[in-house]
Amino acid sequence: NEEKSLNFLEEIVEEDIHTGKHGGRVLTRFPPEPNGYLHIGHAKSIVLNFGLAQKYGGKTNLRFDDTNPVTEETEYVESIKNDIKWLGFQWAEELYTSDYFDTLYGYAVKLIEKGLAYVDDSTSEEIAASKGTPTESGKPTPYRDRSTEENLRLFEAMRDGKYPDGAKVLRAKIDLANPNMHLRDPLLYRIKHAHHHRTGNNWCIYPMYDFAHGQSDSIEQITHSVCTLEFVPHRPLYDWLIEQLEIFPSRQYEFARLNLNYTVMSKRKLLQLVNERYVESWDDPRMPTISGLRRRGYTPASIRNFCERIGVAKRENIIDVGLLEFCIREDLNKTAWRRMAVLDPIKLIITNYPEDNQEILVGENNPEVEGGEGERDIPFSRELWIEREDFMEIPPKKFFRLAPGLMVRLKHAYIVKCEDFVKDTAGNVTEVHCVYIPESKSGEDTSGIKVKGTIHWVSVPHAKTVEVRLYDRLFNVENPAADENFKTTINPDSLQIIENAYIEPDLLNAVPGKGYQFIRKGYFTLDTKSTPENPVFNRTVTLRDTWAK
Ligand code: ATP
Ligand code: MG
Ligand code: MG
């Protein structure tokens, strides 16, 4: 009695289990190419593939699709594994397409022997030209009718390094008139004399995606191979290869990829942002990468929840990044410990508070949870830092903060009344002078005074100085990828650094990844690259949606 209706993939899996296909077994895979860090789009694929298997008692393989030696690196492999684990998923087996290079070579030989593949000496331009157009049939190149013996000999010579890059390719021999361009004798292998991050210099020919992917699914006996919609036209080739090779009948299913506004999600573009120093690194908190979101303070639960909320569709759409922000806010509202920090300080002096006195007040960690998850000590003294915006010389109506004659409560402390203020020669307010009501202490208030506003503060002699980084969207337009030069749409104000913010001392115990609500200011986490000498806090998200569209 599931409340939620099934998505179309769940329906397919349930039907397959029902009919006893593959003995009711479910094995999915997540197949990243190790040519960059994972992004939020990959998270959708991870949640989908692992989630589908988990729901039906199956398993998921992690398969590195490492058939392109030039762009792939071990650093990416490590980051991908780390990100999947952090998201909360565990793969059954860690596999590499490159481990199948021998098997794939054997498959290619089998196709040649069946008269279904040939070595073509044409250049890539000649091949492209001979393929025709969707409305016009292609023409055979002069190499299409080579004998099986000749093809076998040439393919072996390709493998043995007898030819330079681009001199020859292996093509499937299917149908040059097929309306589906992917079936017009697609490339299976190309020559590339390049060092591979795992197989070193063992190979100088590499299988194309279409020849490696389905065959790897088959080798692993994947039951449901889930990929994004761009691969719909590849499916007939996927099926043709499996059928001709007479190997395990994996099936491909397609869903709409995640598109998110105000960001880019192609690894090639993200790499440009890193290489050209628009951002600090792949894990810059403005990046849509999993590692960037983690460093920004997103939790695994919030990302999983986001992926589940957007659901699985068969039609392309663009998701508002506001939904992602909603998901982290919802999570942090329940889990973040409340603390006080002043980002734009001016001094408040309590003129009737004894000069050498101080008190230790207490504040609960989390008012959203029964018992508050304990409490922390908050030192209080005669001089406090408050936010500049919490004082106005001439306030508008309904300004429930400080101005001459107005009263507020200091959070977890006393009610104060503003009596005076001091300006510097430039006219900026530097000090706000108040008196406090001794009987108004939080939790034991007998003053009978009601005030409308509560403000946060940090005791001057106890305050710790930290750097705070406020992030905004990395791009100024909804769909930066649509722009010819997407980098011209970068938001120049995506990072604001506050070098001297004041925090209450307990925040020195903060650890990266744990969320804190700086009361009235937003959710923050300690930066992973922060040091005890120079603590840095990243703003994860504001308290409310303050993004002006
Ligand atoms: P990019 O274009 O950014 O390089 P990719 O699709 O080439 O992405 P892969 O490493 O091949 O990246 O992707 C691994 C898996 O993640 C694939 O199954 C792919 O379909 C899926 N994936 C990638 N991007 C998205 C996305 N935006 N939404 C959903 N799934 C995605
Ligand atoms: Mg890919
Ligand atoms: Mg790619």
Residues 6+ apart with CB under 8 A from 283: 37, 289, 291, 292, 294, 295, 528
Active-site annotation holds for 257: yes
Measured from the alpha carbon of residue 209, the closest ligand is 2
The ipTM estimated for the assembled molecules is 0.96
Q: Which atom of ligand 1 lies at the shortest distance from residue 270's CA?
A: 3
> What is the tens place of the pLDDT at every residue in 425-439?
999 999 999 999 999
Q: How far is CA 399 from CA 149, 390, 391, 392, 457, in A?
A: 89, 9, 9, 9, 18
Give the pLDDT band (50/70/90) at residue 548: very low
Helix (H, G, I), strand (E, B) or coil at 482: helix
Active-site annotation holds for 190: no
Domains and CATH numbers, the chain: 8-255 (3.40.50.620), 267-337+466-541 (1.10.1160.10), 341-456 (2.40.240.10)
Tell me the CA–centroid distance for residue 35 and ligand 3, in Å.
Answer: 8
Give the pLDDT band (50/70/90) at residue 381: very high
Q: Which atom of ligand 1 lies at the shortest distance from residue 44's CA?
A: 29
Query: Probe ligand 1: pick from 45, 261, 271, 319, max atoms within 8 Å of CB?
Result: 45
Query: Probe ligand 1: pick from 62, 87, 228, 324, max atoms within 8 Å of CB?
Result: 228
Nearest CA to ligand 1 atom 23: 42
> What is the tens place of the pLDDT at every residue in 505-516?
999 999 999 999
Instruction: Tell how far CA 146 is from the center of its chain.
Output: 49
User: Which residues contribute to the annotated binding site for ATP?
Assistant: 33-35, 39-45, 228, 257-258, 265-267
pLDDT given at position 549: 36
Any residues with Cβ below 6 Å from ligand 1, and which? 31-33, 41-42, 44-45, 65, 227-228, 257-258, 265-267
Q: With helix as H, strand as E and coil as C, how does 281-314 read?
A: CCCCCCCCEHHHHHHHCCCHHHHHHHHHHHCCCC
pLDDT > 70: percent of the chain: 99
Single out the catalytic residue among 21, 25, 33, 520: 33
Handedness of CA 473, 476, 477, 483 (dihedral sign): negative
Give the pLDDT band (50/70/90) at residue 1: very low
> What is the tens place of the pLDDT at every residue in 268-279?
999 999 999 999
The β-bridge partners of 117 are 172
Q: Which amino acid belongs to residue 441?
A: K
Tell me the CA–centroid distance for residue 489 and ligand 2, in Å.
Answer: 26
- Closest among 102, 112, 101, 104 to 143, alpha carbons compared: 112
Q: What is the chain's mean pLDDT, rounded?
A: 96
> What is the tens place of the pLDDT at every residue in 62-86?
999 999 988 878 899 999 999 999 9
Residues 6+ apart with CB under 8 A from 85: none
Tell me the CA–centroid distance for residue 464 and ligand 2, in Å.
Answer: 47
> What is the tens place of the pLDDT at every residue in 226-271?
999 999 999 999 999 999 999 999 999 999 999 999 999 999 999 9
pLDDT beyond 60 at 546:
no
Instruction: Tell how far CA 522 is from the center of its chain.
Output: 20
Average pLDDT (197-204) is: 96
Average pLDDT (166-191) is: 98
Q: Which atom of ligand 1 lies at the shortest distance from residue 46's CA?
A: 16
Q: Given the DSSP bridges, would you call strands 117-120 and 458-459 parallel, antiparallel or unpaired?
A: unpaired
Active-site annotation holds for 81: no
> What is the tens place of the pLDDT at every residue in 289-334?
999 999 999 999 999 999 999 999 899 889 999 999 999 999 999 9
> What is the tens place of the pLDDT at every residue in 478-534?
999 998 899 999 999 999 999 999 999 999 999 999 999 999 999 999 999 999 999
